[in-house]
Amino acid sequence: MKKLLFPSLALVMSLTLTACNNNNDTNEVPQQEPSGDTSQQEPSGYDRELVKFPENYDKGVNYTTVHRGNVREELYTSREAIEAVQNGETIPDGTVITLEIYRDEELDEIFVMEKRTGWGDQTPQGTPRNGDWQYQEFNGDRSLDYEEDIGRCFTCHANKERDDFVNTLDEMKSYDFEDFTGSKDSSTESQIAGVTTNHWKVKAVADNLEDSRDILHGNSFMEDEEKAGIIQKVLLMTHFNQET
């Protein structure tokens, strides 16, 4: 009996070692063949190449400012987008909304959302689709922030479908274009029309201001505040003549 048992055990051990050696040589896990047509499958992640950094965005309308503790948020978009909203129209194709995020007065992030026809089809399957809006996050130096979870942006805006997925639609509706000053970096732009007034003369048509005077250069004895006050008072009855 023992003579029969030992040969049997030796045979089992030999087969086991052979199987282990075969697996260790390849070090591979058998792959399953894909089933069905995979050409129609949605991408597994968001397309981070759609939304580019909007150059000169700060030349648009800075339509609202939001304060959250040590965080200040400045929002910009085009005049056309705001006018469409105020007229009860759909936010136009090609609209870009840019959000600057300052922390302790240092520019930390720049968030961008852009609307393009057909972009909604680029949203991954099983994730919120916010119409044709796509999102992008940039660092303060305008480099792409690959660590940001763009999916969080879709989730945040998903509950604003009635407002075309824009959280600040009410601010667009209430914005007064008389407050538009154009670029935030320019201190010489009219508060009424965003027209650069440096090197321009204000010619008053009122009886008490008979002569043309250059009130925006240092030629006048008036202080800056006084100059600004005069501009506001006579703006509706003046015309601008650009110097040559």
More confident: 52 or 43: 52
Residues 131 and 184 in one domain: no
Residues 124 and 229 in one domain: no
CA distance 229 to 236: 13
Residues 91 and 111 in one domain: yes
Residues 68 and 164 in one domain: yes
Residues 108 and 190 in one domain: no
Q: What is the pLDDT of residue 202?
A: 41
Backbone angles phi, psi at 47, to 5 degrees: -80, 110
CA distance 137 to 99: 10
Domain count across the chain: 2
Q: Is residue 150 part of a domain?
A: yes
CA distance 52 to 57: 12
Q: How many CB atoms lie within 10 A of CB 3?
A: 6
Tokens of 46: 């968001």
More confident: 186 or 160: 160
Strand order in 71-77's β-sheet?
Answer: 61-68, 71-77, 96-103, 106-115, 133-139
More confident: 26 or 64: 64
Q: What letter would DSSP give residue 20?
A: H
Q: What is the pLDDT of residue 166?
A: 98
Weakest mean pLDDT among 87-91, 103-107, 113-117, 210-214 = 210-214
More confident: 243 or 113: 113
AA letter at 204: A
Residues 70 and 163 in one domain: yes
Q: Is residue 39 part of a domain?
A: no
Residues 160 and 184 in one domain: no
Report residue 6's pLDDT band, with 50, 70 and 90 as the boundaries: very low
Q: Residue 165's domain spans which residues? A: 57-174
| Cβ–Cβ under 8 Å, residues 148 and 140 | no
Residues 164 and 61 in one domain: yes
Q: Which of 115, 150, 174 is the last residue before a domain boundary?
A: 174
Q: In b/e form, how buried is each residue of 186-225, taking b as 16+ CB within 10 angstroms?
A: eeebbebebeebeebbbebeeeebeeebebbeeeeeeeee
Q: What is the pLDDT of residue 181?
A: 65
Q: What letter would DSSP give residue 189?
A: B
Q: Is residue 78 part of a domain?
A: yes
Q: Is residue 2 part of a domain?
A: no
Q: What is the pLDDT of residue 135?
A: 96
Residues 102 and 125 in one domain: yes
Residues 151 and 132 in one domain: yes
Using DSSP bridges, classify how beta strands 106-115 and 133-139 pair: parallel, antiparallel or unpaired: antiparallel
Residues 146 and 181 in one domain: no
Residues 208 and 131 in one domain: no
Q: Is residue 113 part of a domain?
A: yes
CA distance 150 to 123: 11
Residue of 179, 141, 181, 168 whose CA lies nearest to 66: 168
Q: The domain spanning residue 137 has which CATH number?
A: 3.50.70.20
Cα–Cα separations (whole angstroms), residue 114 to 31, 44, 151, 197, 201: 40, 21, 15, 32, 40
Q: Is residue 109 part of a domain?
A: yes
Q: How many CB atoms lie within 10 A of CB 61?
A: 22
Residue of 88, 65, 84, 61 whose CA lies nearest to 176: 61
| Cβ–Cβ under 8 Å, residues 47 and 134 | yes
Q: Is residue 237 part of a domain?
A: yes
Q: Which of 154, 174, 194 is the last residue before a domain boundary?
A: 174
Q: Is residue 120 part of a domain?
A: yes
Q: Which of 151, 174, 197 is the last residue before a domain boundary?
A: 174
